[in-house]
Structure 1
């Protein structure tokens, strides 16, 4: 026994610290574990009867970047004076960084605890041992840095040659000669290609994700063991496929770096992405990609442009503002910001206040956006009208292609599901029927696989029916499209309109001419041409939206025989809307009448002036409503019909004519006996009232 071990050391317990740096070492370096646990025999030989083994830090590095609960518990026990010796196979097992190593040595010195390894016993209170422990701690830290440096440099040199492949991403397999080749599973290949195809058509990562979710399509993913499984896609899945250079046929390494920061006194590791010019290796055309490198670069530019950052327009959204992110102030060269105001937040307004926010200077310009958007839309329509027919044919073909692509993906899923069902059936048939614990589980799996097959067959049937409803595009169907663009544009999707505008327009420089009370727009087209457009500025109190004259005239005529509530119902039934696109209500009809000075409905005035509907007029002259309506449509009798799906309006004076008398005489002369009395006949059609 060493003379450094005293009675006070043996009176306390000894602690044996067992550690390995990684999970791989724990699983494979079993001989090292046995040697470390064998240190218990050495402690017993040195005189300790109570030996506590601390092995909860197996698989954790001692470099200082991971929390080691076992080491902390050992130091705490030493501080409490309960430990006479701490032991390890090599002292490097305790710590590989100076902070924790010096902490352990200093605590052992204060409470008089010895350190023991396979070779010797160290007493920290002795200056020579303390010097030796300090040197060993420095050497342990240096040794770790040296090993890490050698390993990192070897990896980097191999990566610069494009030969370092850690794991193969989904859609690829790693070959024996350290190269990547496409996964032989065609279902996996087509799923990844469909991601790129949909992004090329939509231009947004999120909208591509929503397309997959809308059609219930799955995407492949890799398990840690390299096995493929299918799951519901997430944004990160689609974004990773679209931004990873490996799918563009390039080898890339060193895209991220790890930094150490401290949180609550504990070190934490953070991974962050580096700019492309700082990557260690980027080798285009290193293997076969799912898209070529030029297409991959174009996709990255589109994704970058979708981020609303640094004056960029950002991805098209659902808002109605057509020029969001495209307007630039002529006075201060700042981008204009967009605000939605009004009770319904449907009135858009463009403002430039960067100078006021950043420098405290007066605000530049501000104006309503409805007229400006309409003027730019007219300019865009004039540009796209010559190619409208060709674009419509291409759009119809793309729509048919999308349906076919969904159908093909579902058929691939069905083929995989049938294979899974057959495999489950074989497993069930191979099981012992008397072993119900196994047979019942295999039967349940078989039933689940059959349900999946039935679900996919049903979805394929629905998709096939929907695809059959789309006839092939014929050029003669679109001959009038060029002239109908203006009527189609207001009802088109907001995102689609913004994508069209951003495809044609680089930016719009805007200023306000206070003298002429005009908004001056200079449109910078993508081809390099500039166009100036002047829009009259809306004065205060002037509404940019107006109710259609057709609706106003209809209200003026219907007010003779209908109250406001019934007028609102008739207007809505004829698909007429207010100037802001809202449905009509009794209050809105009342407001319209008041603004245009239309008298309110009155039954007394109606009777005095002689206004009647079709049913009342027919009863007044003694014929059926249908007979009277046919006479009016034939031009024999005068009546008003302001809306096609609304009531007829007659005046008593127009019924006291010779034509009406002759109509009544002809009707009575050929009238037969009706099977159902006229009083019991009814109709729900407003046009017959």
Structure 2
């Protein structure tokens, strides 16, 4: 008899009845099962426990038994058993206590250690007995298998519907189920235009982040539908975030496709669950063309390729990425011709401007080796720019017309989105007004609340209308007739526009990415750039390496020769003025001065004007005075009288004199009379 297993020691402790139903629906609709579980109290009373010592634990009604997470009642039962307070544990079936073998065997182990009995509808078991424990373990395994079979049946029906594309899943915002249970576009035109604007903006900018930035700069909102809570189904509008835009771009439902298996549920050690995204190649079912969408499947595929290309900028290899700030024209498109790895970009300052350098650091980063090669970006970008102008010349007219149509369509889309937002604000304000007008004036609590809501809606409508008016004026100015005429002139102005420093570098990069897949660089005596164009065609550019700074600063031989020639007849200051007048400039494009000319003389060991005059026989004041036995004052007096010519004067007013050929002087005695006699003799001699 099972009752023989109940001893006095068991009766000294309390009896615990555990009651559980898996869902709240079962609690509401399957009341008979609940009554059967409560009826086990009578079994405990028959076995000898007083009614007041039979405790019912029914805190887990409506909770699944697949795990102990959030099952406070089961945790309480385990605690009572572990503390030795329970003499018997009762449950209608093993599945009521647990459907997880780990939880069930843990309970059996605790009951065996504390000599606690287990009772179900079939009888009483002693976990300390091997045979009873074996039977309890088998029942636990069968209970877990039963749960697996139930889930497999439901899963099989779900997969069968998914295989046909008929499984109903909550559609994303912008898509709704019609009365015939088919999916169509949301009847709200503002919602439709907002979603279409996301796809159009991404197609133009090529970046999800730039799409978000466009929405925020233009003051546009994006819809979100509440899925839970008391306001379930309501539509909310807010500024979009980067993750929200990525969700829209990655969702195949917007392309009219049915997709199943995009995510999986993973159980964590703490009993919780997490949602894991599955790679697209592992999706279970993908069926394009199942319902109406905002884009076609080909456009969706193109968006996925572009997003994958952008994502490479954040991966380990950093292969590409969207166009970013910086003048490097080939950012994300350069391949090292020596090792085959992608090359990065490093910026530096040169003569007040930012210049790029393409460098391959794969060997240095991965293997702690040397940098493979560095290539100056300014010469490569210049060569690629010339190639772009050459490639775009035949298609300039088509590009011009396409740009104009694109700007007009873009303006129409944003204007429609803003206008619809103003209309929605007007409708909500009118709805708030009607609610306020219908309220009983004596019910001041409700009337005041509705009046405040009406005023808030009116203020929002006024702000939206003012913002729409202001942005419409800006947009109209941007698309004026003069602007359209300038766009039509793009065909002739394209080379100049490409080189205009006011054009954003990202715009040039987008043009490059449309025409070029990648560029392989090899640096030797020259820089060789193998350009692979879209479509498979290739071009090879051979570019001269930039000169070293020492050679750039070196003066040209013809300039040195010109300075050498001018020094025969001019001093350093005069040479600098002549060079500037003839258009000569330094390597920094600056004008010459006295110091620059002196530096050239010293660097190239050119004789100065002073040395050249000395070679021609010019004498200093002291030398003339010594030669003619006169004082230096007399020499300066001869110069003022024109008897001798002063040809050169330095900074200290020291000069060189030119003596006329055949000039003589009669010898005389010293003193003042002698100097006057000498002067007379020189004057007479010069006149002869």
Do the structures match in fold with TM over 0.5? yes
Work out whether 1:400 is the aligned partner of 2:408. yes
Q: CA deviation at 1:460?
A: 1.3
**Which residue number corresponds to residue 423 of structure 2?**
415
Pick the aligned partner of 2:344 from 319, 323, 337: 337
Unpaired segments ≥5 residues, structure 1: 546-559, 561-577, 581-588, 600-689
Supply the distance in 2 between the matched residues of 1:60 and 1:283 (Cα, whole angstroms).
36
Contact 2:497/2:503 (8 A) holds in 1? no
Is the alpha carbon distance of 1:341 and 1:260 closer, same or farther for their aligned partners in structure 2, counting shifts above 3 Å? farther
1:542-557 counterparts in 2 under 5 A?
none
Contact 1:403/1:463 (8 A) holds in 2? no
**Which residue number corresponds to residue 631 of structure 1?**
none
**Which residue number corresponds to residue 612 of structure 1?**
none
1:444-463 counterparts in 2 under 5 A?
444-463=452-471
TM-score (ref. length: structure 2): 0.73
Is the alpha carbon distance of 1:50 and 1:446 closer, same or farther for their aligned partners in structure 2, counting shifts above 3 Å? farther
The worse-fitting range, judged by mean Cα deviation, of 277-286 and 502-511 is 277-286
Supply the distance in 1 between the matched residues of 2:99 and 2:598 (Cα, whole angstroms).
92
**Which residue number corresponds to residue 287 of structure 2?**
283
**Which residue number corresponds to residue 192 of structure 1?**
195
Is the alpha carbon distance of 1:483 and 1:232 closer, same or farther for their aligned partners in structure 2, counting shifts above 3 Å? closer
Q: What are the Cα deviations for residues 469-495 of structure 1, in whole angstroms up to 9, with x where unaligned? A: 12142376446413523432x322122
Contact 1:85/1:114 (8 A) holds in 2? yes
**Which residue number corresponds to residue 499 of structure 2?**
487
Is the alpha carbon distance of 1:420 and 1:147 closer, same or farther for their aligned partners in structure 2, counting shifts above 3 Å? same
Q: What are the Cα deviations for residues 100-138 of structure 1, in whole angstroms up to 9, with x where unaligned? A: 101101101111222234554333234443233222111
Q: What are the Cα deviations for residues 214-259 of structure 1, in whole angstroms up to 9, with x where unaligned? A: 2221212222244433222122221111111111111111122233
Supply the distance in 2 between the matched residues of 1:592 and 1:61 (Cα, whole angstroms).
91
Supply the distance in 1 between the matched residues of 2:108 and 2:593 (Cα, whole angstroms).
94
Pick the aligned partner of 2:265 from 242, 258, 261: 258
Pick the aligned partner of 1:504 from 509, 512, 515: 515
Contact 1:105/1:124 (8 A) holds in 2? yes
Contact 1:65/1:268 (8 A) holds in 2? no
Q: CA deviation at 1:380?
A: 1.2
Supply the distance in 2 between the matched residues of 1:327 and 1:99 (Cα, whole angstroms).
56
Q: 2:5 is paired with a residue of what secondary structure? A: coil
Is the alpha carbon distance of 1:128 and 1:364 closer, same or farther for their aligned partners in structure 2, counting shifts above 3 Å? closer
Q: CA deviation at 1:506?
A: 1.1
**Which residue number corresponds to residue 471 of structure 1?**
480
Supply the distance in 1 between the matched residues of 2:246 and 2:453 (Cα, whole angstroms).
33
**Which residue number corresponds to residue 633 of structure 1?**
none
Work out whether 1:231 is the aligned partner of 2:249. no
**Which residue number corresponds to residue 678 of structure 1?**
none
Query: What do you get for the CA RMSD once the two structures are aligned?
Result: 3.4
**Which residue number corresponds to residue 675 of structure 2?**
none
Is the alpha carbon distance of 1:228 and 1:29 closer, same or farther for their aligned partners in structure 2, counting shifts above 3 Å? farther
Work out whether 1:134 is the aligned partner of 2:137. yes
Q: CA deviation at 1:161?
A: 0.5
Contact 1:370/1:544 (8 A) holds in 2? no
Supply the distance in 2 between the matched residues of 1:414 and 1:287 (Cα, whole angstroms).
31
Work out whether 1:241 is the aligned partner of 2:267. no
Work out whether 1:213 is the aligned partner of 2:216. yes
Contact 2:68/2:74 (8 A) holds in 1? no
Q: 2:52 is paired with a residue of what secondary structure? A: coil
Q: CA deviation at 1:424?
A: 1.6
Supply the distance in 1 between the matched residues of 2:119 and 2:340 (Cα, whole angstroms).
73
Supply the distance in 2 between the matched residues of 1:51 and 1:151 (Cα, whole angstroms).
38
Q: 1:96 is paired with a residue of what secondary structure? A: coil
Pick the aligned partner of 1:61 from 59, 64, 67: 64
Q: CA deviation at 1:423?
A: 1.8
Q: CA deviation at 1:500?
A: 0.9
Pick the aligned partner of 1:535 from 543, 549, 557: 543
Q: CA deviation at 1:10?
A: 3.5
Contact 1:389/1:482 (8 A) holds in 2? no
Supply the distance in 1 between the matched residues of 2:353 and 2:121 (Cα, whole angstroms).
78
**Which residue number corresponds to residue 670 of structure 2?**
none
Q: 2:168 is paired with a residue of what secondary structure? A: coil
Q: 2:311 is paired with a residue of what secondary structure? A: coil
Q: CA deviation at 1:594?
A: 12
Supply the distance in 1 between the matched residues of 2:139 and 2:420 (Cα, whole angstroms).
62
Q: 1:523 is paired with a residue of what secondary structure? A: strand
Q: What are the Cα deviations for residues 160-207 of structure 1, in whole angstroms up to 9, with x where unaligned? A: 011101212211222455421222222221211111111111111111
Is the alpha carbon distance of 1:476 and 1:414 closer, same or farther for their aligned partners in structure 2, counting shifts above 3 Å? closer
Supply the distance in 1 between the matched residues of 2:467 and 2:457 (Cα, whole angstroms).
16
Is the alpha carbon distance of 1:377 and 1:22 closer, same or farther for their aligned partners in structure 2, counting shifts above 3 Å? farther
Pick the aligned partner of 1:429 from 431, 437, 454: 437
Is the alpha carbon distance of 1:221 and 1:53 closer, same or farther for their aligned partners in structure 2, counting shifts above 3 Å? farther
Contact 2:389/2:495 (8 A) holds in 1? no
Q: 1:307 is paired with a residue of what secondary structure? A: helix
Q: What are the Cα deviations for residues 349-400 of structure 1, in whole angstroms up to 9, with x where unaligned? A: 2222434554566543212222222221222122224434543443244333
Supply the distance in 2 between the matched residues of 1:544 and 1:435 (Cα, whole angstroms).
88
Q: Which has the larger radius of gyration?
A: 2
Is the alpha carbon distance of 1:527 and 1:442 closer, same or farther for their aligned partners in structure 2, counting shifts above 3 Å? same
Q: CA deviation at 1:58?
A: 4.4
